[in-house]
Structure 1
Protein backbone atom coordinates (compact mmCIF):
# COMPACT_ATOMS: atom_id res chain seq x y z
CA UNK A 1 0.00 0.00 0.00
CA UNK A 2 2.82 2.37 0.86
CA UNK A 3 4.37 1.73 -2.55
CA UNK A 4 1.15 2.78 -4.26
CA UNK A 5 1.02 5.99 -2.23
CA UNK A 6 4.65 6.77 -3.08
CA UNK A 7 4.03 6.16 -6.80
CA UNK A 8 0.92 8.33 -6.71
CA UNK A 9 2.87 11.10 -5.00
CA UNK A 10 5.63 10.85 -7.60
CA UNK A 11 3.11 10.98 -10.43
CA UNK A 12 1.38 14.03 -8.95
CA UNK A 13 4.70 15.78 -8.42
CA UNK A 14 5.80 15.06 -11.98
CA UNK A 15 2.51 16.37 -13.36
CA UNK A 16 2.75 19.53 -11.26
CA UNK A 17 6.31 20.12 -12.46
CA UNK A 18 5.26 19.67 -16.10
CA UNK A 19 2.40 22.14 -15.69
CA UNK A 20 4.69 24.68 -14.04
CA UNK A 21 7.28 24.37 -16.81
CA UNK A 22 4.60 24.79 -19.47
CA UNK A 23 3.34 27.92 -17.72
CA UNK A 24 6.82 29.39 -17.62
CA UNK A 25 7.33 28.63 -21.32
CA UNK A 26 4.03 30.31 -22.21
CA UNK A 27 4.93 33.40 -20.17
CA UNK A 28 8.37 33.65 -21.77
CA UNK A 29 6.92 33.34 -25.28
CA UNK A 30 4.21 35.90 -24.52
CA UNK A 31 6.83 38.33 -23.23
CA UNK A 32 8.92 37.82 -26.37
CA UNK A 33 5.88 38.45 -28.59
CA UNK A 34 5.02 41.60 -26.64
CA UNK A 35 8.59 42.88 -26.92
CA UNK A 36 8.64 42.19 -30.68
CA UNK A 37 5.33 44.05 -31.13
CA UNK A 38 6.63 47.04 -29.17
CA UNK A 39 9.84 47.06 -31.22
CA UNK A 40 7.86 46.89 -34.47
CA UNK A 41 9.30 43.50 -35.39
CA UNK A 42 6.01 41.61 -35.52
CA UNK A 43 5.97 41.72 -39.32
CA UNK A 44 8.43 39.73 -41.44
CA UNK A 45 11.33 41.62 -43.01
CA UNK A 46 9.73 41.57 -46.45
CA UNK A 47 6.56 43.23 -45.13
CA UNK A 48 8.23 46.21 -43.49
Structure 2
Protein backbone atom coordinates (compact mmCIF):
# COMPACT_ATOMS: atom_id res chain seq x y z
CA UNK A 1 0.00 0.00 0.00
CA UNK A 2 0.86 3.62 0.30
CA UNK A 3 1.27 6.32 -2.24
CA UNK A 4 4.96 5.97 -3.10
CA UNK A 5 7.01 8.17 -5.36
CA UNK A 6 5.96 9.02 -8.87
CA UNK A 7 9.05 7.30 -10.24
CA UNK A 8 8.16 4.12 -8.33
CA UNK A 9 4.70 4.27 -9.88
CA UNK A 10 6.25 4.66 -13.34
CA UNK A 11 8.33 1.55 -12.59
CA UNK A 12 5.16 -0.34 -11.69
CA UNK A 13 3.60 0.68 -15.00
CA UNK A 14 6.66 -0.59 -16.84
CA UNK A 15 6.43 -3.92 -14.98
CA UNK A 16 2.72 -4.18 -15.82
CA UNK A 17 3.63 -3.76 -19.49
CA UNK A 18 6.32 -6.45 -19.08
CA UNK A 19 9.03 -3.91 -19.86
CA UNK A 20 12.22 -3.46 -17.87
CA UNK A 21 11.73 -0.56 -15.42
CA UNK A 22 14.23 2.29 -15.54
CA UNK A 23 16.22 3.55 -12.57
CA UNK A 24 14.51 6.12 -10.36
CA UNK A 25 15.49 9.66 -11.31
CA UNK A 26 16.47 8.54 -14.80
CA UNK A 27 16.25 11.26 -17.47
CA UNK A 28 13.30 9.43 -19.05
CA UNK A 29 11.28 9.38 -15.81
CA UNK A 30 12.12 13.02 -15.13
CA UNK A 31 10.96 13.93 -18.64
CA UNK A 32 7.68 12.04 -18.10
CA UNK A 33 7.20 13.77 -14.75
CA UNK A 34 7.74 17.19 -16.38
CA UNK A 35 5.31 16.28 -19.18
CA UNK A 36 2.59 15.17 -16.74
CA UNK A 37 3.03 18.33 -14.66
CA UNK A 38 2.82 20.52 -17.77
CA UNK A 39 -0.29 18.71 -19.03
CA UNK A 40 -2.09 19.04 -15.69
CA UNK A 41 -1.15 22.68 -15.11
CA UNK A 42 -4.31 24.59 -14.25
CA UNK A 43 -6.61 21.56 -14.09
CA UNK A 44 -8.92 21.28 -11.11
CA UNK A 45 -8.62 18.25 -8.85
CA UNK A 46 -11.86 16.29 -9.19
CA UNK A 47 -11.17 13.04 -7.31
CA UNK A 48 -13.68 12.15 -4.58
CA UNK A 49 -11.05 12.12 -1.85
CA UNK A 50 -10.25 15.79 -2.50
CA UNK A 51 -13.82 17.05 -2.28
CA UNK A 52 -14.78 19.12 0.74
TM-score normalized with structure 2 length? 0.33
TM-score normalized with structure 1 length? 0.36
Larger radius of gyration: 1
Instruction: Give the structure, 1 or 2, with the largest relative contact order (CA under 8 Å, sep 6 or more).
Output: 2
